[in-house]
Structure 1
Amino acid sequence: METTAYTGSTRWHELVVNKIKFSEPFEWLAKGWRDMIDAARYSLTYGAVIVLISGLLTFVLFSTDSMFLLPFLVAGFFLVAPFLGIGLYQMSAHLEKGEPLKTCNALEAWKSNHTQISMITAGFFIMMQLWIALNYVLFSLLYEGLSPPLDNFFSNVFLSEKGRNFTIASIMVGFFFAWWAYMISVITVPILIDRKIDGFTAIRLSVKSVLQNMPAMMLWAFIIVVIVGLGLMTYFVGLLIALPWVGHASWHAYRSLVPSD
């Protein structure tokens, strides 16, 4: 894919992002749905691979008696989801230009700006590891063993006094990670695919897009959580559609928020 050189200033007050309407996220969803239908063969295959990987990870947790980590791994999914959609952004970019999708894949998207995308992706996975590690620490502070027994896991974690403390602490930590991850990543990977700029500039454009359009971007965050959350709640099967839909829509979010010039 041909990329566009970024020639603007990297000073915060000179980074330009568009002001959008509160209802604009629904337009992104409509455009994302059209892209998913137009690229159904490729998009749904992409979603199926994510479903398969999610199922395998769950099996590994079950096999290693680590199922107590599943809720936190699921929550961590939102931290790495921006990178997981890299191939979907590429598909939308091809559709936008009327280019064929035969050679469209995540590897092609990564190659467009591989150094910066690799560094940003590493950061996402480090955040996810920190999130899981913090929950390990919280468990160790509340329980004698690594985790409560699985046969009464729900009652111990969510209904007991110690469990309520754990749940509150986990939610607070999770909200902190999720909000910061959202701000720095909501359009960062699409920017890096489309433009030859550094990851730090892409992150700052993403953060500024959120701060200057807070109501609309909070709505977009809520929509993402609902759609992807429903996909996760269906034992990952719903991700077959949820992830491609949100991924394509995220490309249009980037196009709407960052001026083409």
Structure 2
Amino acid sequence: MADTQSTASQPVRQAAAGFPYADRVREVEPARVFVWLAAGWADMRAAGWVSPAYGALFVAIGFALTVGLTMAGMAYLIAPMIGGFLLVAPLLALGLYAVSRDAEEGRRPGFWRALTAWRANPYHILTAGLVLMLFVMIWVRLNVIAYALFFPYHSMTFASLFEQALTLQGLTFLAFVTALGLAFAAIAFVTNVTALPMMLDRPVDVFAAALVSVIAVVKNPRVMALWAGVIVLVTGIGMLTAFVGLVVALPLVGHASWHAYRDLVKREEEA
């Protein structure tokens, strides 16, 4: 079976080899995913209070947004907001990549250095941030439009959605927005899995970084599928604890993502 899968993926990998920057991307084994997690955990321990404090900052923002949407009568946007969080997670984890880079280079990690990590490549990192925010705005707007189309005679409230959840129409709506969310998440993952760490690490533009990220996925489809599943599992567990678990989950995934980038993308002197 493994030989069949390897043979089937060869044409895709050969096609990827024709892209610019393809020679900068390594092929790795699925077991490396667990090496990334172990290295991420080691970075968390080495960073002391910096990593959990960084995670706690975004947990606090998540609480504030949840309470704000509820008080504004827009609780129906909480679920799309959670989906939006997953879409922009690579950007939110930028400071964690910086902490891992500092640990790698023997520097003492600092909270302020993590928060200002974008200054390493400001124009292109901010451009990537704007693209991701636009992506989230489109995602939220499509959710609102879908709700209006599926439930034209119901008010857009969380209570109304809950009442309709077990009806055929409600289940169809949930299936549709889930499929839509998976499509958005797949695009965000493929174009950003190594892009933000790469832009932090070297003066590369957002388009080149996104292309390298796509090539990394194309050359390592099974590894990247496993890594995406691990990210969803870890962040999902964090969210199921009323966001509190993200204090650990977000730093763990962020630090591990830095090591994934290091494993997948060759250093400039190696390319």
- Alignment TM-score, normalising by the size of structure 1: 0.91
Aligned pair in 2 of structure 1 residues 114, 148: CA closer, same or farther (>3 Å)?
closer
CA distance in 2, matches of 1:229, 1:163: 23
Query: Residues 103 and 230 (structure 1 numbering): CA distance in 2 closer, same or farther, change over 3 Å?
Result: closer
Name the counterpart of 1:4.
Answer: none
What amino acid does structure 2 have at the position aligned with 1:133?
R
Q: Do the aligned partners of 1:61 and 1:67 also contact (CA within 8 Å) in 2?
A: yes
Equivalent pairs, count: 250
Distance 2:145 2:113 in 1: 38
> What is aligned with 1:251?
258
Deviates more, 1:236-245 or 1:61-70: 61-70
Deviation at 1:14, TM superposition (A): 4.3
Q: Which residue of 1 aligns with 2:126?
A: 118
Instruction: Specify which of 94, 97, 118 is matched with residue 102 of structure 2.
Output: 94
Deviation at 1:144, TM superposition (A): 3.1
Query: What's 1:48 paired with?
Result: 56
Once the two structures are superposed, residues 150-171 of structure 1 have per-residue CA deviations (whole angstroms, 9 ceiling, x without a partner) of 4453241x21121122112111
CA distance in 2, matches of 1:18, 1:137: 41
Unaligned 5+ residue runs, structure 1?
Answer: 1-10
2:215 to 204, 208, 215: 208
| Stretches of structure 2 lacking an aligned partner (at least 5 in a row) | 1-17
* Residues in 1 aligned to 2:47 and 2:100: alpha-carbon distance in whole angstroms: 9
Deviation at 1:102, TM superposition (A): 3.4
Q: 1:65 to 1:12 in 2, by over 3 A?
A: same
Maintained 8 Å contact 2:199/2:205? yes
Q: Are residues 148 and 122 of structure 1, via their aligned partners in 2, closer, same or farther at CA, if it must alter by over 3 Å?
A: closer
- The one-letter amino acid paired with 1:114 is P
Q: Which amino acid aligns with 1:71?
A: A
TM-superposed deviation, 1:25:
0.7
Q: RMSD of aligned C-alpha atoms?
A: 1.6
The 3 A distance-change label for structure 1 pair 149 and 126 is closer
Hey, what's the Cα distance between the residues in 2 that align with 1:239 and 1:147? 32
Which region of structure 1 is more displaced relative to structure 2, 12-21 or 178-187?
12-21
Structure 2 counterpart of 1:195, one-letter code:
R
Using structure 2 for the length normalisation, give the TM-score: 0.88
Deviation at 1:103, TM superposition (A): 6.7
1:37 aligns with 2:45: yes
Q: 1:48-82: CA deviations, max 9, x gaps?
A: 10110000000111101111111111111110000
Deviations 1:11-49 (A, max 9, x none): 724432001001111100000000001102100110110
Aligned equivalent of 2:14: none
SS in 2 for 1:33: helix
Distance in 2 (alpha carbons) for counterparts of 1:229 and 1:50:
15
Residue 106 of structure 1, CA deviation: 3.5
Matched to 2:150, the amino acid is L
Query: 1:226 & 1:116 partners in 2: Cα distance?
Result: 30
